[in-house]
């Protein structure tokens, strides 16, 4: 069942989206009707106006889900399950054509030739101005100035259409023709192209760690895939075309020789060090510009115009061949679309970091599978399951070893025959260390339970120690004044600031985290219990004194129940803060827990897993709070009624 | 059962910052016999609540002493029951648990407690309200619970600090009758602090008018209205010419005191 759902998550999402859209519209209709009904009974500011209104909750949740589906491209996948694969093929074509486009105005505003000509001319002009007068002789200066003029002539010669030789001309015409043929090929449509069996066997969009299957699975995809192969070849040819002007051939040889001559003079060693360096630098600068111009990369602008328009035509043809896909792309794929890198096609924009809701559920289900052997759980540890816990471990946790040490007598030593007969003291030590078989009890297990366990133990300790102290601080000058500075000194420090210290002292296992959380819960419980205790009405205290209650009885029967609303509110706050602190602490150190999973997911940029952990934390926090609200409602209905 | 006696009672409050002393009570002397009903009246700040708190044992006098029989009062005790203005009920407990609070603190037998609760709820007119949360009761009903809670402990003296101050006129009249009834039936010594001259006259077999700065008993009356209230309608008593005469006299007295305070300030 789950397997099927997981395989067909696009269909599941399609149904869900329709249902949610229906609910969204329906809840707005209901909400508006209800609002109209109640408008007469309530004035603005009446607290009753916040009661009820579940339909707006439906509106909010469905709206959020729809936005999530939209920006994660979940909607796109639901209704156009093949679109991503086709867009991947189109991206392949784009990638193949991009080297040609980069040299033409259609891809980068200017011809590459224009940029080369203007940039190098500017630099030659600068060199002329900067010619160092002191290090060169007059003769050399004239020679260098002439050299620069000659190099400039190279640019002029290349830019003149009349100088373009026949071979280059033919090559460029050939390229335009091939591009036009490619356009016709796209315009002709896929015909009877059928995707290969290998392509069809690929996992579907988003069902594996590779986001988008790269081989074309539709005939339209096949068309673009084939076009991209041809386009890559055309681009290869385009890159090899050179503008070999015959006049420049001679000029280049001449310039080369003259530069060599000056370099030889430089290397002759007849100048002092500084002068040699200056001369060499200048000649090197001239030679660098020359080297950029001797490979025939500058074409006359007119010669490339045909290729430019052929590419524009190809773009049009590609656009036409995409058909309805362009609309789908514009409507349902927010962000820059799909990009093909060397080995894979990836989603860009919001879909990159926002996984689809159905994928998040699928990942959660994979993690929630308790069968670790079957790929469930995370890092060989289930999410939430149970296991047999040896009772002796629990005993060992509570019974310290020194009890055995303190027992009178000595531990047994080995006898003359090399055997050891354990005495009672030995057995006591084994008991304290958990080395005895006391049977097993079923116990919850897994990442979530580990996190929960830490919070619950810390909370329990915080309540059982913090509440009594808080109550005493609320009634006693000594307790208040003695403990107040101690607690107020450590409390304002953010728990995470304590974390490095606590984790060093207590270790990265449960002890350290529990102590850290205990510190958090303890302070909150002390303060809330104290506030509750000191807020008891004096008349109630006096009444109970007059009714013959002892101090102890007053504490237990009057002050504690009176402080209960504050204490429960304190627990509610402490649960929230502990939960937040715990996850952060688990991210700092540890080998289990929800925060641990997120930390690992972060290092490998597994966004789905990150979102799963975020959702687990959110849902668990919500459950905690709902339980606390329920408890508060059940246990202190008198709150605010005194 | 014994008399409530105050001998040269002085109470001076010292402001801890300025060291200024305020004489809240000065040389209070009286002897309240067993079964007497005393109402204490006076303008704000005349020390009537301080007097009650001293007798209840919540604060200790700085001079003289208050005694119940031979015993000097220095702490709260079961023999002096308190009823406060706002009931001071324990809102987390239902009515019955509020009423038997004192008994439970004494660790009385539970079955016996239940019987007593039944009886006292009956007397104060709250039959069948045992399981109701106190916050669901009206002000008058809450005050009845407070009365029952106090009386079930069988105190020798009942001290009431403006017990009916927060009630509406109608409920107030009913509660005044109830107080008189309870006084008659139980024969307890009762001391009532009140702001209302009418109430003080109606309920006070004895009546102290207190004056401020220093707080002292300005004038004492012995009045017949409480006795009469047991048989007659309270409303008729209010029309009695003597009642009106005393009421006017006291009102003028208190008025003058207030004027004096204002003048001095």
Contact yes or no for A344/A212 (Cβ under 8 A)? yes
B153 vs A548, A562, A642: nearest CB:
A548
| CB-count exposure of residue A317 (10 Å: 0-12, 13-18, 19+) | buried
Per DSSP, the three-state class of A41 is coil
Q: Is the pLDDT of residue A642 over 70?
A: no
Which residue of chain B is at minimal alpha-carbon distance from A556?
A: B105
Q: Is the pLDDT of residue A419 over 90?
A: no
* DSSP assignments along A506-556, one per residue: H-SSHHHHHHHHHHHHHHHHHHHHHHHHHTS-HHHHHHHHHTT--HHHHII
Asked if residue B214 has a cis previous peptide bond (ω within 30° of 0), the answer is yes
Q: Is the pLDDT of residue B118 over 70?
A: yes
Which residue carries 């010419």 as its tokens? Answer: B241
Stretch (H or E) spanning A215: none
pLDDT at B264: 59
Q: How far is CA A39 from CA A29, A32, A33, in A?
A: 15, 10, 10
B90 vs A540, A545, A636: nearest CB:
A540
Query: What are the pLDDT digits (tens) for A131-163?
Result: 888 888 888 888 899 999 999 999 999 998 888
What is the arithmetic mean of pLDDT over B137-156? Answer: 88
> A residues 528-567 near B, CB within 8 Å?
537, 539-540, 542-550, 553, 557-558, 561-562, 564
* DSSP assignments along A228-283, one per residue: HHHHHHHHHHHHH-----HHHHHHHHHHHHHHHHHHHHHHTS-S-HHHHHHHHHHH
Which residue carries 């009537």 as its tokens? Answer: B48
Judged by average pLDDT, the poorest of A115-129, A347-361, A560-574, B205-219 is B205-219
Q: Is the pLDDT of residue A323 over 60?
A: yes
Neighbours of A17 (CB within 10 A): 20
B76 vs A540, A542, A561: nearest CB:
A542
- Interface contact A638-B58, CB threshold 8 A: no
Sheet holding B21-32, edge to edge: B21-32, B4-14, B63-68, B71-72
* DSSP assignments along A410-450, one per residue: ------TTS-----HHHHHHHHHHT-S---EEEEEESHHHH
Which spans in chain B are helix H? 48-56, 95-99, 101-105, 110-123, 139-151, 169-186, 197-203, 225-231, 234-238, 241-264
B86 vs A539, A550, A562: nearest CB:
A539
- Tell me which DSSP letter residue B75 carries: S
Query: What are the pLDDT digits (tens) for B78-88?
Result: 889 999 888 78
- Interface contact A553-B58, CB threshold 8 A: no
Query: What are the pLDDT digits (tens) for A18-76?
Result: 999 999 999 999 999 988 888 777 788 888 888 888 999 999 999 999 999 999 999 99
Q: Which residue has the higher pLDDT, A315 or B219?
A: A315
Sheet holding B216-222, edge to edge: B80-83, B157-161, B189-193, B37-41, B206-211, B216-222
| Residues of chain B contacting A, Cβ within 8 Å | 56-58, 76-78, 80-82, 84-86, 88, 90-93, 101-102, 105-106, 133, 135, 146, 149-150, 153
B102 vs A539, A542, A548: nearest CB:
A548
A5 token code pair: 């759902």
- CATH number 1.10.3720.10 given to A448-635: yes
Query: What are the pLDDT digits (tens) for A439-451?
Result: 888 888 889 998 9
Q: Which of A80, A608, A93 is nearest to A330 (CA)?
A: A80
If one looks up domain B4-79+155-264 in CATH, what number appears?
Answer: 3.40.50.300
- Tell me which DSSP letter residue A83 carries: H
Provide the β-strand partners of residue B67. Answer: B5, B72
Q: Is the pLDDT of residue A236 over 70?
A: yes
- Interface contact A547-B135, CB threshold 8 A: no
- Mutation target to probe the B interface, by most B beta carbons within 10 A, among A540, A547, A550, A567 is A547
Residues of chain A contacting B82 with CB distance shorter than 8 Å: 542-543, 546
Which residue carries 């002191």 as its tokens? Answer: A134
Domain residue extents for chain B: 4-79+155-264, 87-154
B14 φ/ψ angles, rounded to the nearest 5 degrees: -110, 130
Minimal C-alpha gap between B101 and chain A (Å): 7
The reported pTM is 0.77
Query: What are the pLDDT digits (tens) for A97-121?
Result: 999 999 999 888 999 999 999 999 9
Which residue of chain A is at minimal alpha-carbon distance from B142?
A: A642
| CB-count exposure of residue A221 (10 Å: 0-12, 13-18, 19+) | buried
Q: Which of A56, A61, A51, A73 is nearest to A20 (CA)?
A: A61
- Mutation target to probe the B interface, by most B beta carbons within 10 A, among A532, A546, A554 is A546
Domain residue extents for chain A: 2-71, 81-183+220-321, 390-441, 448-635
B8: left (phi over 0), alpha (psi -120 to 50) or beta: left
């Amino acid at each position: 069942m789950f397997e099927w759902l997981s395989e067909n998550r696009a269909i599941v999402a399609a149904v869900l989206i329709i249902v949610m859209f229906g609910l969204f519209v329906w809840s707005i209709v209901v909400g508006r009707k209800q609002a109209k009904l109640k408008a007469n009974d309530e004035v603005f500011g009446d607290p009753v106006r916040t009661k009820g209104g579940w339909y707006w909750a439906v509106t909010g949740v469905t709206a959020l889900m729809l936005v999530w589906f939209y920006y994660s491209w979940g909607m796109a996948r639901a209704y156009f399950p093949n679109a991503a694969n086709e867009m991947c093929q189109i991206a392949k074509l784009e990638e193949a054509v991009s080297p040609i486009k980069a040299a033409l105005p259609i891809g980068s505003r200017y011809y590459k030739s224009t940029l080369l000509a203007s940039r190098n001319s500017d630099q030659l002009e600068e060199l002329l101005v900067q010619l160092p007068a002191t290090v060169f002789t007059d003769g050399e200066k004239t020679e260098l100035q002439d050299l620069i003029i000659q190099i400039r002539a190279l640019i002029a010669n290349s830019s003149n259409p009349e100088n373009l030789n026949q071979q280059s001309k033919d090559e460029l015409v050939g390229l335009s023709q091939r591009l036009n043929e490619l356009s016709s090929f796209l315009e002709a449509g896929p015909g009877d192209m059928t995707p290969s069996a290998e392509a069809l066997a690929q996992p579907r969009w988003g069902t594996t760690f590779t986001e988008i299957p790269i081989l074309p699975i539709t005939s339209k995809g096949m068309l673009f895939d084939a076009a991209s192969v041809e386009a890559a070849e055309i681009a290869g040819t385009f890159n090899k075309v050179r503008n070999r002007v015959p006049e420049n051939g001679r000029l280049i040889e001449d310039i080369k020789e003259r530069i060599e001559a000056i370099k030889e003079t430089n290397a002759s060693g007849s100048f002092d060090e500084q002068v040699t360096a200056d001369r060499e630098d200048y000649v090197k600068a001239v030679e660098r510009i020359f080297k950029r111009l001797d490979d025939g990369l500058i074409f006359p602008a007119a010669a490339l115009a045909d290729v430019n328009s052929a590419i524009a035509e190809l773009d049009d043809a590609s656009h036409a061949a995409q058909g309805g896909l362009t609309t789908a792309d514009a409507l349902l794929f927010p962000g820059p679309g799909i990009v093909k890198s060397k080995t894979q096609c990836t989603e860009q924009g919001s879909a990159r970091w926002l996984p689809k809701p159905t994928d998040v559920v699928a990942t959660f289900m994979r993690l929630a599978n308790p069968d670790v052997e079957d790929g469930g759980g995370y890092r060989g540890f289930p999410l939430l399951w149970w296991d047999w816990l040896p009772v002796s471990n629990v005993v060992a946790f509570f019974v310290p070893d020194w009890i055995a040490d303190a027992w009178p007598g000595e531990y047994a030593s080995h006898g003359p025959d090399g055997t050891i007969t354990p005495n009672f003291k030995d057995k006591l030590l084994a008991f304290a260390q958990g080395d005895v078989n006391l049977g097993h009890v079923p116990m919850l297990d897994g990442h979530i339970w580990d996190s929960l366990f830490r919070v619950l133990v810390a909370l329990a300790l915080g309540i059982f120690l913090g509440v009594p102290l808080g109550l005493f601080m609320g009634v006693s000058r000594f307790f208040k004044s003695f403990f107040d500075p101690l607690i107020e000194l450590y409390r304002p420090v953010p728990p995470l600031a304590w974390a490095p210290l606590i984790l060093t002292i207590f270790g990265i296992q449960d002890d350290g985290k529990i102590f850290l959380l205990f510190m958090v819960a303890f302070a909150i419980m002390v303060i809330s219990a104290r506030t509750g205790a000191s807020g008891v009405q004096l008349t109630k205290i006096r009444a109970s004194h007059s009714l013959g209650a002892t101090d102890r009885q007053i504490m237990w029967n009057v002050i504690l129940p009176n402080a209960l609303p504050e204490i429960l509110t304190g627990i509610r706050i402490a649960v929230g803060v502990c939960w937040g602190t715990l996850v952060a602490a688990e991210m700092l150190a540890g080998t289990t827990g929800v925060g641990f999973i997120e930390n690992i997911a972060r290092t490998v940029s597994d966004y789905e897993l990150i979102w799963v952990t975020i959702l687990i934390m959110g849902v668990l926090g919500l459950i905690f709070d709902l339980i606390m609200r329920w408890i508060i409602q059940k246990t202190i209905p008198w709150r605010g009624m005194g | 059962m014994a008399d409530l006696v105050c001998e040269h009672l002085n109470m001076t409050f010292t402001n801890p910052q300025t060291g200024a002393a305020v004489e809240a009570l000065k040389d209070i002397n009286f002897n309240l016999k067993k079964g007497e009903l005393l109402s204490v009246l006076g303008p704000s700040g005349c020390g009537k609540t301080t007097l009650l708190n001293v007798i209840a044992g919540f604060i200790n006098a700085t001079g003289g002493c208050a005694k119940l029989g031979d015993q000097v009062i220095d702490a709260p005790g079961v023999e002096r029951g308190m009823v406060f203005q706002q009931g001071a009920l324990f809102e987390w407990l239902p009515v019955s648990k509020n009423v038997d609070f004192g008994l439970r603190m004494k660790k009385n037998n539970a079955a016996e407690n239940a019987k007593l609760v039944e009886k006292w709820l009956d007397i104060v007119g709250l039959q069948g309200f045992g399981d109701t949360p106190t916050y669901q009761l009206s002000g008058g009903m809450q005050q009845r619970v407070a009365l029952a809670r106090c009386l079930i402990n069988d105190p020798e003296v009942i001290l009431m600090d403006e017990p009916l101050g927060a009630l509406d006129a109608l409920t107030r009249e009913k509660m005044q009758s109830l107080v008189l009834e309870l006084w008659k039936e139980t024969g307890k010594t009762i001391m009532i602090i009140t702001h209302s001259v009418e109430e003080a006259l109606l309920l006070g077999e004895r009546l102290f008018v207190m004056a401020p700065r220093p707080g002292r008993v300005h004038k004492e009356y012995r009045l017949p209205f409480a006795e009469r209230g047991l048989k007659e309608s309270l409303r008729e008593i209010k029309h009695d010419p003597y009642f009106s005469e005393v009421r006017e006299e006291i009102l003028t007295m208190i008025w003058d005191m207030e004027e004096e305070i204002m003048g001095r300030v």
